[in-house]
Amino acid sequence: MPRQSVILKTGLPERADPSWNAGRQEVAFYTEVATVMATRLVPRCFEAAWDAETNAWHLLLEDLTDSHVIATTWPLPPTKGQCERIVHARARFHAEWWDDPRLGASVGKWDGPDAMGNHLKTFAERFARFADRLGDRLARERLALYERFIDAAPRLLSRYYSHLNVTIVQGDAHVWNGFLLRDGATDDVRFFDWDSWRVDVGADDLAYMMAMHWYPDLRSRLERPLLDRYHSALVTQGVQGYDRRALDDDYHLSVLWQIATPVWQAANDIPPVIWWNNLERIMLAVDDLGCRELLA
């Protein structure tokens, strides 16, 4: 018989401060996004509540223990076949929201130049503390890369401001935030942990999944075939006017933007075992893919 239970997800006591928006954001996902989706790619949510006064929140989600499983134990990557299922499902999710007129209106929001300017200012301040913390463990060449990145960031945002070929991205799109069907028969994937979702370029999720978390050997074998599979699935799902070259351009830009992630992670007290390894891997990806050229 199917499991007669649900999962209660709620906030940690140490994250009750309003500065933590995880609960608010994830509740918004299940009330604004999941409820109107035609495809079933996230766990069913039976109740989603957030209190603006106390920042208390909770979700009641279906228990998928009997039918689904996380592909692999962190930090081991999934197999090629599992990666293909994850990427295909990711494309199906992105395609459903591709250039949807509700984006930035009734679903999610667009940040304008003022909000983005404040965001970039905060990042520059946090990077200064990050660099001080690392000292000579951050090579001069990488320090210079970050400085060039901060200078170029307002220009790099032109892709975001175009509001074209965009979708809903998960943000925290690593492979351990997805349940795969236990029997492996189909790409029946359920993505969970939506506290970082936003309206943006779909390639951001792919860059976070592969460039941020994979070392060069694995990327050299799987990165391009998985990008091919993702693009093919987009086309199959009806996405038009977005060719394979456009995906490559977006992916390279997304990889470059991901160098900001370890800085934010360190600033939010994520353990160094996570952000230090993310820093090393994303820098290798930036070099392998020639992403520095975007700063010229």
**Whether the model pTM is above 0.85:** yes
Contact 194, 23 (CB under 8 A): no
Neighbours of 66 (CB within 10 A): 11
- Give the pLDDT score at 54: 87
* Cβ partners under 8 Å of residue 232, min gap 6: none
- Give the pLDDT score at 188: 87
- Give the pLDDT score at 21: 65
Q: Where are the domains positioned within the chain?
A: 1-66, 67-295
- Give the pLDDT score at 183: 79
Cis peptide before 271 (omega within 30 of 0): no
Query: Is CATH 1.20.1090.10 the right assignment for the domain spanning 67-295?
Result: no
pLDDT by 10s per residue, the chain, length 296: 555 799 999 988 776 666 666 699 999 999 999 999 998 999 999 999 999 888 899 999 999 999 999 989 999 999 999 999 999 999 999 999 999 999 999 999 999 999 999 999 999 999 999 999 999 999 999 999 999 999 999 999 999 999 999 999 999 999 999 999 987 666 689 999 999 999 999 999 999 999 999 999 999 999 999 999 999 999 999 999 999 999 999 999 999 999 999 999 999 999 999 999 999 999 999 999 999 999 99
Classify burial at 134, counting beta carbons within 10 Å of its beta carbon; exposed 0-12, middle 13-18, buried 19 or more: middle
* Cβ partners under 8 Å of residue 227, min gap 6: 206, 247, 248, 251
C-alpha span between 261 and 91 (Å, rounded): 23
